[in-house]
Homo-oligomer: A and B are copies of this chain.
Amino acid sequence: MEPSSGQMMPGFEHPMDIEEFRQRGKEMVDWICDYYSGVSERPVRSSVEPGYLASQLPRSPPQKGEAWSDIMQDIEHKIMPGVTNWQSPNFFAYYPANSSAPGMLGEMLSAALNVIGFSWIGSPAATELETIVLDWLAQLLDLPACFRSHTPEGTPSEGGGVIQGSASEATLVALLAARTQAGAAPEEAHRLVAYGSDQAHSSLKKACMIAGISHCRSLPAAAANGWAMDPKALEAALEEDKAKGLKPFFLFAVVGSTNTCAIDPLLQLGPIAQEHHLWTHVDAAYAGAAAVVPEQRHLFQGLHLVDSFNMNAHKWLLTNFDCSPLWVRRSEPLKQALSLTPAVLRAKGNALDLRDWQIPLGRRFRALKLWFVIRTYGAEGLQEYIRHHIRLAKVFEGLVRAHPKFEIAAPPRLGLVCFCLKDGSREQNAALLEALNSSGRLFMVSTDVGGKLILRFALGATSVQQSHVEAAWQQISQQADQMLSQH
């Protein structure tokens, strides 16, 4: 089918022209509004079986274009049954993945402009807004001034922020900067050692695998200090490894671990890391958002001692996935680890080519959604939002503590409450969880800590209210009563 003349209008105009997009776009906005209005009624965890979709879709692409109405019908009938509704107020699994109205508007605009901000000239606004908004967010989180791109007087500093796609990428990028700073020759690379607690996020191990760092030491965290890293254990490991001729270079500290929201003691770890010339990276993927409220900032004490700090605005700060800000005290090692300048990309100025701060070359205009969120909510709105969730977690904690058959299984922190059946076996807790999750009325996940299987009630869905927490608890306690009465 050869085009016959210049009259054809492919691309945007064809097969869907601007006027049809106007209509379909507005219908999609209505669909989204309907979705959010009714999401609390949808099963939270999808109940399909693996492979469910293959039998419902053709094995081959269509030869001719299809009507939009047919596609949208498939969304409701074929796709939605396989969606786990992270935006349900009854979603208490993993950690939250916040969506918000300004976040979605930001995604719409970003998709429409569809600029590729690998270099400054690729769209100056994309690079510059990102830097400015991360300076804003650094202030909202009360980060040490060294993490801002400019001093309060407006002078460029050595550090700054960049939006990564995920905390895993932030970890990798920080590890690579650390490796560069350590200056090990290639044939010495296998002597490098990275450190984290056994509660550290798996991204540490993955980053080590990727970077070819074979020594990734996992230090046992103990229940006694709330599953946080023990500074003495770190010191001992450092001495031991140095005695073996190894070269410690990287400390991965968590503020808010994945399992139990444990907080590594930065104030004690920082000086040790500095003494041994380690690059300290702080992973506060979930908990970082809590730094917007002054009463939680004690969890972050010691940030003046670290080299990089990461949080996911896409977890608990209302910014649609993906948006994982990373701040570094000094950007030079990062750029040294990641910069190349092929001729085709050379363009006006070299100021802030953010490709040199990340793994990929291309990058979306993600600053827009974060800017929209911060401006729409304002500092006070964000604080109110975080406090609301922390208060709801307290409500849930109180319900657990007041129940004779349950107990708190790790120190509750921020929006996370870990709990389990008192004297319950591993199997009983697992069975309780599965019964709850398969009801579709709520979704939680379990984790293993200290050899026990415990349940995690992770609070932070954008629209969760006290009524949802109370309803969840009613489900949980009734299911447990029913289960235990059968034995």
Q: Does A32 contact B36, Cβ atoms closer than 8 Å?
A: no
Q: Does A46 contact B101, Cβ atoms closer than 8 Å?
A: no
Whether A427 is near chain B, meaning CB under 8 Å from some CB there, is no
Whether A152 is near chain B, meaning CB under 8 Å from some CB there, is yes
Q: Does A391 contact B3, Cβ atoms closer than 8 Å?
A: yes
Whether A404 is near chain B, meaning CB under 8 Å from some CB there, is no
Which residues from B are CB-within-8-Å of A345? 94, 202, 445
Whether A28 is near chain B, meaning CB under 8 Å from some CB there, is yes
Bound-state Cα–Cα, A59 to B384, Å = 22
Bound-state Cα–Cα, A64 to B375, Å = 8
Whether A477 is near chain B, meaning CB under 8 Å from some CB there, is no
- Given A139-B61, A338-B206, is A166 in contact with B362 using a C-beta cutoff of 8 Å? yes
Q: List 11 A-B contacts (CB under 8 A).
A: A32-B112, A35-B112, A66-B375, A71-B376, A83-B113, A87-B113, A114-B321, A169-B360, A187-B190, A212-B212, A259-B344
Whether A245 is near chain B, meaning CB under 8 Å from some CB there, is no
Q: Does A154 contact B54, Cβ atoms closer than 8 Å?
A: yes
Interface residues of A in 104-145 (CB under 8 A from B): 104-105, 107-116, 120-126, 128-129, 132, 135-137, 139-140
Whether A483 is near chain B, meaning CB under 8 Å from some CB there, is no
Q: How large, as a class, is the contact surface on chain A?
A: 35 or more
Which residues from B are CB-within-8-Å of A53? 124-125, 128-129, 132
Which residues from B are CB-within-8-Å of A17? 101
One of B15, B94, B107 near A108 (C-beta < 8 A): B107
Whether A157 is near chain B, meaning CB under 8 Å from some CB there, is no
Which residues from B are CB-within-8-Å of A101? 12, 16-18, 20-21, 24
Q: Does B66 contact A378, Cβ atoms closer than 8 Å?
A: yes
Q: Does B124 contact A84, Cβ atoms closer than 8 Å?
A: yes
Q: Does B202 contact A361, Cβ atoms closer than 8 Å?
A: yes
Q: Does B112 contact A86, Cβ atoms closer than 8 Å?
A: no
With a 10 A CB-CB cut-off, give which of A20, A116, A137, A447 has the most chain B CB atoms: A116
Whether A372 is near chain B, meaning CB under 8 Å from some CB there, is yes
Q: Does A1 contact B176, Cβ atoms closer than 8 Å?
A: no
